[in-house]
Amino acid sequence: MLAAVAKFGFALKYASEELRGDKEVVLIAVCQSDQSIMFATDTTKAGKHVVLVAVAQMWYSFEWASRTLRDDKEAVLAAVSKAGLSL
């Protein structure tokens, strides 16, 4: 699965729940395709590092962040900054 998500991040969609919850697997997928974060487990989407990596590639990946991270100042500022906006 690591080889698959490294080449095509969306392959995470077809991974087992256990692998979709594995931070290493999700980070590899997100580095290949920021939107693959949508297939991660809720617990993984609550991981700040995973979300910040996705947002660093494309701000709209923030859409799939956990509710807690959508209230996190650092995560919000990262997404806003990547979008070219300012508060």
Question: Could you tell me the pTM of the whole model?
Answer: 0.87
Neighbours of 47 (CB within 10 A): 20
Reduced to 3 states (helix: H, G, I; strand: E, B; else coil), residue 58 is: coil
List pLDDT tens digits, range 30-87.
999 989 999 999 999 999 999 999 999 999 899 999 999 999 999 999 999 988 876 6
Tell me the residue type at 74: E
d(CA 70, CA 67) in angstroms, rounded, equals 5
Q: Buried b vs exposed e over 50-75: b needs ≥16 C-beta within 10 Å?
A: bbbbbbbbebebbebbbeebeebeeb
Q: What are the tens digits of pLDDT across the range 10-38?
A: 999 999 999 999 999 999 999 999 899 99
- Distance CA(48)–CA(5), nearest Å, equals 20
- What gap in Å lies between CA 74 and CA 4, rounded to an integer? 31
